[in-house]
Structure 1
């Protein structure tokens, strides 16, 4: 006897898919996609003593994350709202944070927003029209 417990039988490699295979995989993929945003939120939350510039930077970072999340949902549904892209572009402007950790998180979020805008061919001339 091999010492294994359980009544189920695994495949040749000892691996068995849980019930709901494809759905469970989709949920796992969605969770993995959300992980970087979750890390950015944690970075934003762990900074305490806030100055005016840090409060503004934290607010802008949160707004960027919300817009990126909305964009992701829209893309999964089949399209992207032009107004959302305009808001993402507008949120690129603002003061830097005083806290270096917060500034680093903000820059990472802004980079992600710029990538999403570039993927959709967003240019400054589009933003002005």
Structure 2
């Protein structure tokens, strides 16, 4: 916004002009005769006290979902390593397979098709191994 005044300052630095108060007005707002009064603000109905704190705690941070996914992925990989070791010695625990099937059903987010394909293959293998024990899915 540009403020235009009626006179230009041509003698900047003249002696005696600094600090002199005069009755001349260099700037006058156009439009209203006096300063406009700000409108009163209406009180905002919001949460106060403990409600606000609880609401902030309920909202997860930007990295919360990523940390949760990393924890689930690591636990799934640990379970797969345990089953791989059991397969190598020829004795797979049915309880371990049940735990892995439960983990697979909880881990699905259906956000990445490639990841979902890998999880589907793991789930199929777990169901085959459970079928060897005579445990068939209730689906």
TM-score (structure 2 length as normaliser):
0.41
- Higher RCO structure (Cα 8 Å, ≥6 apart): 1
Going by fraction, where is helix more abundant, 1 or 2?
1
